[in-house]
Structure 1
C-alpha cells in the first residue's frame, strides 16, 4: 500500500453533502513516501508472479529489465500514471469498502501511451443483496492544478449519465475472467447487461495529485455540482511534485536493479 498516513497529514473538509479530504505530504517524511510508493509502483505495471518467474528463469538483470521495460519514460506520462496509481491505492485502503479489482496499467498498449476510458472504477458488493456499488473515478496529476483540469475531470465523471461506461465495465469483466475471478466478472456482466445501474449505487471520486494546494479548487468543484450522485474529492498535495515523481521512479529502477 502507499501508506499515506505515514507521510501525509490528512484534513477532512465538509462540503455540504459531499466529502473532501486533503492529504499533504510533509517535508520531513517525503523519503518515506518515495520509498513506500516505489515499493508498490512495479505491481501496477507487471504481476509479482511474472517478475518472480523471470528472476528464477533468467536471472536478476532480466527481471530488472522486465520492470524497466514497463515504466513510462516521459515526465508527463509518469505523472499521469502515478496519479492513477495513487487513486487506486486510496480506493483499496481508505475508501471504506471499495476496491479496484484490476490494475489497469498492466494492459497499456505501450508504456509511453496513456490509458483510455474511465481512470479507475472502485467496486463494492453488498453482502446481503449482492448488488454492486461503483466508485467512478477521475484522477488528475499536475504540477499546477487548475480549475480547467477539474472541469475536464467533471466532464469525464458526468459521461454516460454519471455511470461507469459500458466499455470500462466490459474491460474489467474480461480481465477478471482472465484472472479467474468468475463471480465478480459475472456480477459486473449482470449489472451491465441485465440490470440498469441505479444512480444510488454510484459515487464519484475526483482524485488529484498536485504541487499546489488543491483544497479551494476541489471545494468549489464539489459546491457547483448539481447532479444526484454523491461526490468525493481527494487531493494529494506534494509541493515538489516533479522532483517527487522523478525520485519515485528513480527508486523503482534502483530497487529493480537490486532484486
Structure 2
C-alpha cells in the first residue's frame, strides 16, 4: 500500500452527484511518498510468490535482476505506469471497490503502455449478488491540461460508458489462471453473458497524477459531463513530478539490490 494519508493532505469537493478529491503531497513528507511507493511497486509487475521463489532459488542478485528487468526504462512509460499503480492503490484503499488484478503483470513489453480500460474496480452488491463497477482512466502528466482530461473522457465514454467486454473477459481469464476467486469469475461471467451491465451499476473514476494542481481541471471536467453515470475525480498533485517519478523507480532498484 502507498498510504496516501501518510504523505498527502486531501481536500474534497461535492459537485451535485459527482465528487472531486485532490491529494497534495506535503513538502516535508515527499521522501516518505517515495519510500512507500517504491515498496508497493514490485508486486504490480510480479506476483509476491514469484519474487519470493526467485529469492529462495536464485539468491539475492538474481532476484534483484528479475525485478529491475520488469521495470520500464523510459520516463514516459514509468510515469504512465505509476499513474495506473496509484489509481489501483487508491481504489483498493479508499473507494470501497477492489481492483481484482494488477494489470501491469501482463504487459506485452516493459517499455510499452498497457492497452484497454486502465483499471476496473468491482464490488459484489450484497442485496442483488450482482457486480457494481468502477470504470477508471488514469492519466499522469508533468503539466496536466484540459486536453488530457478530454482524452480520459473519451476512454470512459467508450462502450456507452460501461466496462468493455474485452477488459472484463481479460480479468476473468486472469483470475481463472490464478485460481484465486472463483466467485468473482462467476459474477463477471454472469454480468457479461446473463444479466448484462446497466449504467446504474457503474461509476466512473478519472484519476490524475500531476505536477500541477488538478483541482480546477477536474472540477471543469466533471461539471461538463452530461451523462447519467456518477463521476469521481481524484487527483494526486506532487511538485517536481518528473524528479519524483525518477526517485521512486531509483528507490525500487535500490531496494531490490538490498533484498
Alignment TM-score, normalising by the size of structure 1: 0.99
Please report how far the alpha carbon of residue 207 of structure 1 lies from its aligned counterpart in structure 2 after TM superposition: 0.1
Match of 2:210 in 1: 210
Q: Residues of 2 paired with 1:148 and 1:5: CA distance?
A: 29
- Structure 1 unmatched runs, 5+: none
Which digits, 9 at most, give the CA deviation of each residue in 1:142-196, with x for residues without a partner?
A: 0000000000000000000000001000000000101112110111011011112
Q: Deviations over 1:102-153 (max 9, x none)?
A: 0000000110111000000000101232110000000000000000000000
After superposing on structure 2, the runs of 4+ consecutive aligned residues of structure 1 that deviate more than 4 Å are: none
Cα separation, 1, equivalents of 2:156 and 2:127: 28
1:5-53 C-alpha deviation (Å, 9 max, x unpaired): 0000100012122000000001100011000000000010001110111
Q: Which residue of 2 aligns with 1:25?
A: 25
Partner of 2:118: 119
State the distance in 2 between where 1:70 and 1:89 align.
19
Shift of the alpha carbon at 1:75?
Answer: 0.1
Q: Deviations over 1:28-82 (max 9, x none)?
A: 0001100000000001000111011111111001100110110000000000000
Cα separation, 2, equivalents of 1:14 and 1:100: 24
Q: Distance in 1 between the 2:250 and 2:242 partners?
A: 12
Which segment drifts farther, 111-120 or 122-131? 122-131
What are the equivalent positions in structure 2 for 1:1-259 lying under 5 Å apart? 1-95=1-95, 97-180=96-179, 181-259=181-259
**Hey, what's the Cα distance between the residues in 1 that align with 2:106 and 2:36?**
23
Paired with 2:252 and 2:166, the residues of 1 have a C-alpha distance of: 32
CA distance, structure 2, for counterparts of residue 241 and residue 92 of structure 1: 23
Once the two structures are superposed, residues 192-246 of structure 1 have per-residue CA deviations (whole angstroms, 9 ceiling, x without a partner) of: 1111201110000000000011000000000000000000000000011000000
Q: Partners in 1 of 2:8 and 2:25 — Cα distance?
A: 4
Distance (Å, rounded) in 2 between the aligned partners of 1:196 and 1:173: 15
**Aligned length in residues:** 258
SS of 1:134's equivalent?
Answer: strand
Measure the CA separation in 2 of the matches of 1:44 and 1:54.
16
Q: Residue 190 of structure 2 contacts residue 196 of structure 2 at CA under 8 Å; is this kept in 1?
A: no
Instruction: State TM-score, norm by structure 2.
Output: 0.99
